[in-house]
Amino acid sequence: MKSLIGESSRRILLWLCIALSTLVITYNINGLGNGHILLHKRSGNHKSSCSEYNEIQSKHREYMEYEHIMSNQNMSVNVQLGEAPINQSIRSIRYEQVAFLKIHKAGSSTAQNIFLRYGYSRNLLFVLSRVRKGQYDNVISTMSSLNENNTLPPPMNKTFDVLCCHVLYNREAFQNYIPGNTAYIGIVREPFDMFLSTLNYFRPAYIFKKIKATTPVLNYLVDPWKYENGLPLTFSFTNNRMALEFDFPKHLFKTYTKEESDAYLSKLDKEFHFVIIMEYFAESVVMMRRILGWSIKDVLYLKKNSAKKYSFVDNTNRYLYQRFAKLDYDLYNFYYIRLWEKIRLEGVDFQIELNFFRNLRKAVEDYCIKHTDTILPYHVPASKWSTAFNVTREDCDLLLLNEIKFVSLIRQRQHKNSTN
Ligand SMILES: *[C@@H]1O[C@H](CO)[C@@H](O)[C@H](O)[C@H]1NC(C)=O
Ligand SMILES: *[C@@H]1O[C@H](CO)[C@@H](O)[C@H](O)[C@H]1NC(C)=O
Ligand SMILES: *[C@@H]1O[C@H](CO)[C@@H](O)[C@H](O)[C@H]1NC(C)=O
Ligand SMILES: *[C@@H]1O[C@H](CO)[C@@H](O)[C@H](O)[C@H]1NC(C)=O
Ligand SMILES: *[C@@H]1O[C@H](CO)[C@@H](O)[C@H](O)[C@H]1NC(C)=O
């Protein structure tokens, strides 16, 4: 058997094992993972691994040396077993305001809940839509950026703090509405998966009604130019929709060039502080927390819509969409690389926080959904990344609140405040 595994793969396996045990042990020994509902103190089952502590600690040292050699960079890695300095990674808020570009069918409802809670809990002023017939409360516009016709004006002598409802991006319009020290956050999703999700949700008539065939989606994919031609860009949800919402120059949708696409991406790169990758949501919000200086509690979320499988076309047809959705793929690939570059620079400490966050998030999810009868809060002790905090039943209500109801709640509160 042994001879089947090459020397290099065995080494990789060894490092993987060490890395994993390091994470698990750090998590337990530092007591970072033992959040609890205050009534029920945890039993000591986490101590079972302590006998292996010394051995693992020496392996851990080896691993750290390896990391040091591999990284060849000046990054501070704050993982000394047993002496995690509390507070080292607690950062103070760096931005007062936030503009979140909510992209349709990109998992943005889960992200939006984070921004809704951030602003609501601090009593900040939200950019809200004018209520119009046939438009959801959380949609400002699917066809244009912010303007006086689709938004409510701010109260006298005030400026907005938070934008997180659907609207197309435009740098100048956004800056007009939320001047000041504003964090710009976006979200992207793998374009083909987004395409399938969009088909399922919007069922665009220009595909399902117009194409008379047993496989309309496949027919569409073979020649998308034919079916998108003549359709106004803002009416289409399948013609590089992410790029459209990120305000790529309109002529690129007709005549694509890599140079111009790249040039626009470097403009976006200067304007957005961070872009969430939907497929790596936990990684993204932990990274975002670090960039914005927000707390762990700020970026908690509950998983709302479980991923579905769509049977329109299968994965062998991905390349068809790739040929067409060049701007969307450029955008996605650009921010995909950005995320992993940023994570790499944070070092091992990031991975340990991620492990902590994932487990905490699951615990909060169960507390909010399964323990609805307990009124005691879920207590999270101080950790390297956060001061102690409680997740209360009120926090759960907001974590679980549907986006349209949440926006209505904010609308009521803002209306009340502005009329007295
Ligand atoms: C690391 O930092 C030292 C001192 O700040 C500097 O002299 C050195 O060039 C840096 N090394 C790298 C690889 O950035
Ligand atoms: C934690 O960090 C904050 C902000 O840097 C600082 O004001 C505070 O004193 C620190 N708390 C502890 C316990 O070190
Ligand atoms: C707002 O609506 C008015 C009246 O219909 C129109 O004249 C104006 O151009 C609109 N403004 C924008 C920015 O669309
Ligand atoms: C708005 O600001 C102006 C000038 O500072 C001031 O005179 C006015 O009273 C303010 N209005 C309100 C509603 O605060
Ligand atoms: C958490 O809740 C408990 C019980 O209500 C309270 O005693 C404690 O002070 C709270 N801790 C924090 C950090 O808010």
Domain boundaries, the chain: 1-84+347-368, 97-340+388-418
Query: Any idea how long the chain is?
Result: 420
Q: 164-198: per-residue pLDDT in tens?
A: 999 999 999 999 999 989 999 999 999 999 999 99
Amino acid at 113: N
Contact, 119 vs 126, CB < 8 A? yes
Question: Which ligand 2 atom sits closest to the C-alpha of 92?
Answer: 4
Best of 156, 159, 417 to mutate for ligand 4, by most ligand atoms within 8 A of CB? Answer: 156
Which ligand has an atom closest to residue 75 CA?
1
Which ligand has an atom closest to residue 147 CA?
3
Q: 265-311: per-residue pLDDT in tens?
A: 999 999 999 999 999 999 999 999 999 989 999 999 998 655 577 88
Residue 277 bridge partners (DSSP): 188
Amino acid at 338: R
Which ligand has an atom closest to residue 130 CA?
3
Confidence bin at 316 (pLDDT 50/70/90): very high
DSSP letters along 340-392, please? HHHHHHH-HHHHHHHHHHHHHHHHHHHHHHH-TT--SPEEE--BTTB--EEE-
Closest residue by CA, ligand 2 atom 13: 87
DSSP type of residue 183: E
Closest residue by CA, ligand 1 atom 1: 74
Closest residue by CA, ligand 5 atom 1: 390
- The CATH architecture assigned to 97-340+388-418 reads 3-Layer(aba) Sandwich (3.40)
Residue whose pair of structure tokens reads 């045990």 in the numeric block: 21
Centre of ligand 1 to C-alpha 195, Å, is 45
Closest residue by CA, ligand 2 atom 9: 87
Between the CA atoms of 91, 95, 99 and 103, what dihedral angle is there, to the nearest 10 degrees?
-20
- State yes or no: pLDDT of 67 exceeds 50: no
**Strand ranges inside 218-346, DSSP E:** 274-277
- What pLDDT, on a 0 to 100 scale, did the predictor assign at position 333? 97
Confidence bin at 419 (pLDDT 50/70/90): low
